[in-house]
């Protein structure tokens, strides 16, 4: 397939890079239009934002202007809370991904957690009504939220601002995820990840910080069975993710990401997972998947204070998602992504993050 595709996501660089490695030309719409995205696309544009994601009018208008109206569509994060917008964007296009109806179903807590209960799949106690917080710790989550921005400890004085939300019993444990391919009926587990949380920002205490691929994941047989059950029940297609919590009592399913999760690039070989995402959406799964020889890790570097990117920044080769020169990055916004691989990938990526923080301070001094 050499037909260009349109990629739309909050941040589309990883998908665009994977497509580029397969030799597939792409158009991109996202919220950043990073420099490294621009270099590998036929054309790319930055979409205006609203408080909860895409400015719908701007997204649809720019899609009309950017590429031919029948250009096939691949989407990433950003449509979980607005499947109706996905439906509008996909109108007249071949959709490589789950249908808006499937997205809406798996992100509906009433449906999804009832499904988990019916299938006897372990998960935290979840409800739509305000719980009694005097006896247990609870989290409040915005429906369809992503990136951890939408998760907060539930307190007496907390307000979600009128957004649709649900409540989940807090459990101790470490967040992990399962990456898988599905064709609507069958599934193939691709790999597993340990996920990290950035605790530096009080306004987003569960902010997604990054992840590391793992090769010694416990409960692999059980998790493979859970993925298979959910695919058969929901009709999931393409590259998807399942977030879980691991603790002393076992694993607990938190949610399904019905689109390529950001961790997919920790597992791909020369863009093969983008290719198989397209194939799986059309009903074809691989018999065998090649896996990277090394563990990989990534950390998202967030601005600790307002930062101006220099006119001619020199980014290390182990970074990606480079902001445009002279961009202003506000506190709490992502600056770039830092990568490492090998047995010591976690230590290496943390070391590199610190090196980059030093570089950013030097940039600020020059700007002043």
Predicted pLDDT at 368 = 43
CA Rg value for the chain: 20
In this prediction, residue 159 carries a pLDDT of: 57
Q: Are residues 270 and 188 located together in one domain of the fold?
A: yes
Instruction: With CA atoms as reference, report the closest residue to 73 among 40, 53, 99, 96.
Output: 96
Q: How far apart are CA 349 and CA 196, in angstroms?
A: 12
- 92 and 112 belong to one structural domain: no
pLDDT at 290: 78
Q: At what angle do helices 109-118 and 220-234 cross, to 10 degrees?
A: 120
Residues 224 and 149 in one domain: yes
Would you put residue 359 in left (φ > 0), alpha (ψ -120 to 50) or beta?
alpha
232 and 201 together in one domain: yes
Residue with tokens 């109706």: 84
Say if residue 205 is in the same domain as residue 336: no
Looking at the structure, tell me whether residues 18 and 132 fall in a common domain.
no
User: Tokens representing 228?
Assistant: 């298979």
Q: What is the pLDDT of residue 1?
A: 67
- Report the C-alpha gap between 93 and 87 in whole angstroms: 10
Q: Per-residue confidence of the chain (368 residues) as pLDDT tens digits?
A: 689 999 999 999 999 999 999 999 999 999 999 999 999 999 999 999 987 799 999 999 999 999 999 999 999 999 999 999 999 999 999 999 999 999 999 999 999 999 999 999 999 999 999 998 877 899 999 999 898 888 999 985 555 667 889 999 999 999 999 999 999 999 999 999 999 999 888 888 999 999 999 999 999 999 999 999 999 999 999 999 999 999 999 999 999 999 999 999 999 987 799 999 999 999 999 998 877 778 999 999 999 889 999 999 999 999 999 999 999 999 999 999 999 999 999 999 999 999 999 888 877 654 44
Which pLDDT score is estimated for 288? 85
Query: Is residue 290 one of the residues assigned to a domain?
Result: no
- Is residue 197 within 8 Å of 217, Cβ to Cβ? no
User: Can you name the residues that pair with 127 across neighbouring β-strands?
Assistant: 167
- Helix count (H) and strand count (E) of the chain? 9, 21
pLDDT given at position 158: 58
Residues sharing a CB contact under 8 Å with residue 266, sequence separation 6 or more, in sequence order = 191, 193, 211, 212, 213, 292, 296, 297, 298
Same domain, 145 and 249: yes
Domain boundary among the residues 256, 281, 306 is at: 281
Both 243 and 108 in a single domain? yes
Q: Say which residues have a Cβ less than 8 Å from residue 248's Cβ, sequence separation at least 6.
A: none
In a domain, 291, yes or no: no
Domain termination site, one of 79, 96, 113 = 96
Q: Give the model's pLDDT for residue 161.
A: 63
Do 362 and 334 fall within a single domain?
Answer: yes
Parent domain of 320: 296-367
Q: How many domains does the chain have?
A: 3
Rounded to whole angstroms, how far apart are CA atoms 170 and 133? 11
pLDDT of residue 73: 98
Q: What is the DSSP letter of 148?
A: T
Which is it for strands 187-198 and 165-169: parallel, antiparallel or unpaired?
A: unpaired
Distance CA 94, CA 97 (A): 9
84, 144: one domain = no
Domain boundary among 96, 113, 129: 96
């Amino acid at each position: 397939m050499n037909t260009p595709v349109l990629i739309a996501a909050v941040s589309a660089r990883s998908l665009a890079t994977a497509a580029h490695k397969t030799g597939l030309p792409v158009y991109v719409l996202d919220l950043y239009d990073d420099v490294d995205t621009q270099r590998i696309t036929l054309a790319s544009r930055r979409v205006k934002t609203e408080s909860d994601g895409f400015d719908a009018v701007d997204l649809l208008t720019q899609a009309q202007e950017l590429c031919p109206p029948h250009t096939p569509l691949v989407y990433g994060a950003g449509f979980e809370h607005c499947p109706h917008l996905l439906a509008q964007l996909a109108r007249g296009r071949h959709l490589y991904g789950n249908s808006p109806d499937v997205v809406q179903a798996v992100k509906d807590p009433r449906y999804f957690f009832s499904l988990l209960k019916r299938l006897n799949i372990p998960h935290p106690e979840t409800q739509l009504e305000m719980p009694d917080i005097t006896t247990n710790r609870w989290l409040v989550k915005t429906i369809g939220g992503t990136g951890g921005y939408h998760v907060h400890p539930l307190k007496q004085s907390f307000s979600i601002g009128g957004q649709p939300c649900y409540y989940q019993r807090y459990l101790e444990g470490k967040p992990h995820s399962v990456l898988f391919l599905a064709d609507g009926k069958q599934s193939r587990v691709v790999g597993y990840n340990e996920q990290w949380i950035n605790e530096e920002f009080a306004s987003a205490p569960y902010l997604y910080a990054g992840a590391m691929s793992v090769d010694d994941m416990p409960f692999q047989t059980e998790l493979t069975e859970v993925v298979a059950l959910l695919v058969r029940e929901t009709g999931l297609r393409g590259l998807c993710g399942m977030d879980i919590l691991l603790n002393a009592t076992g694993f607990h399913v938190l949610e399904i990401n019905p689109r390529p999760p950001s961790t997919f690039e920790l597992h791909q070989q020369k863009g093969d997972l983008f290719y198989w995402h397209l194939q799986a959406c059309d009903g074809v799964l691989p018999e065998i998947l090649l896996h990277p020889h090394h563990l990989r890790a990534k950390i998202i570097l967030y601005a600790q204070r307002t930062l101006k990117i220099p006119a001619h920044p020199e980014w290390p080769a182990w970074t990606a998602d480079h902001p445009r020169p002279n961009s202003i990055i506000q506190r709490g916004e992502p600056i770039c992504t830092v990568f490492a691989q090998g047995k010591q990938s976690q230590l290496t990526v943390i070391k590199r993050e610190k090196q980059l923080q030093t570089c950013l301070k030097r940039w600020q001094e020059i700007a002043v």
